[in-house]
Amino acid sequence: MPERRYRIVVCRGPDCGDRRDSAAVHAALVRAIADAGVAATCELDWQSCFGRCSQGPNVLVREVVAAPIHRGLADLPQRLGGGPRAATALDNRVAPVHAAEIVASHIGRGAVVRHLIEPLVAAPPAAPPPPPAEPPAPEVREDVKAP
């Protein structure tokens, strides 16, 4: 049976990277991949932003498929590279402590780490615009008398 290959992508955008230190998550994943002995089948990379900034640090885990999945390939037996594919997951609010679990579960068994997957959060509504400013009061000069 061909070995399954995975790709893990860590966000380093301004929220995930600068504010929430996704570099520490990336470093923990490097260690977890090495410790699990899956470096040959799991690549680790960076991404600039997944558009889920308020739920970061975000980490995308997906199986790398050499050819587009189509019905014929999916119907092949697993020994020939067919069969169901592992799910893709965007893990949210990932901390370094989650790295070993992601590698053991998603990479090792093809099972997403469900407690790290949050529903998409809609952006909060924009604040209402400020009320229009009052026109300035006319200047009253006491030294000028009306005609």
Give the interface with ligand FES as residue ranges (CB under 6 A): 11, 13-16, 49-53, 56, 58
Q: How far apart are CA 100 and CA 32, in angstroms?
A: 5
Q: Which is nearer to ligand FES, 27 or 38 (CB)?
A: 27
Q: How far is the CB of 101 from ligand FES (least distance, A)?
A: 20
Cα–chain center distance at 108:
20
Task: Report phi then psi at 107, rounded to 5.
Answer: -80, -45
Q: How far is the CB of 76 from ligand FES (least distance, A)?
A: 35
Q: How far apart are CA 9 and CA 46, in angstroms?
A: 5
Q: Which is nearer to ligand FES, 20 or 106 (CB)?
A: 20
Q: How far is the CB of 44 from ligand FES (least distance, A)?
A: 16
Q: Which is nearer to ligand FES, 35 or 45 (CB)?
A: 45
Q: Which is nearer to ligand FES, 27 or 49 (CB)?
A: 49
Beta-carbon contacts of 110 under 8 Å, excluding residues fewer than 6 positions away, are: 4, 63, 86, 87
Beta-carbon contacts of 83 under 8 Å, excluding residues fewer than 6 positions away, are: 74, 76, 77
- Token digits of residue 34: 């090495």
Q: Which is nearer to ligand FES, 49 or 95 (CB)?
A: 49
Q: How far apart are CA 141 and CA 147, in angstroms?
A: 14
Q: How far is the CB of 92 from ligand FES (least distance, A)?
A: 9
Q: How far is the CB of 45 from ligand FES (least distance, A)?
A: 14
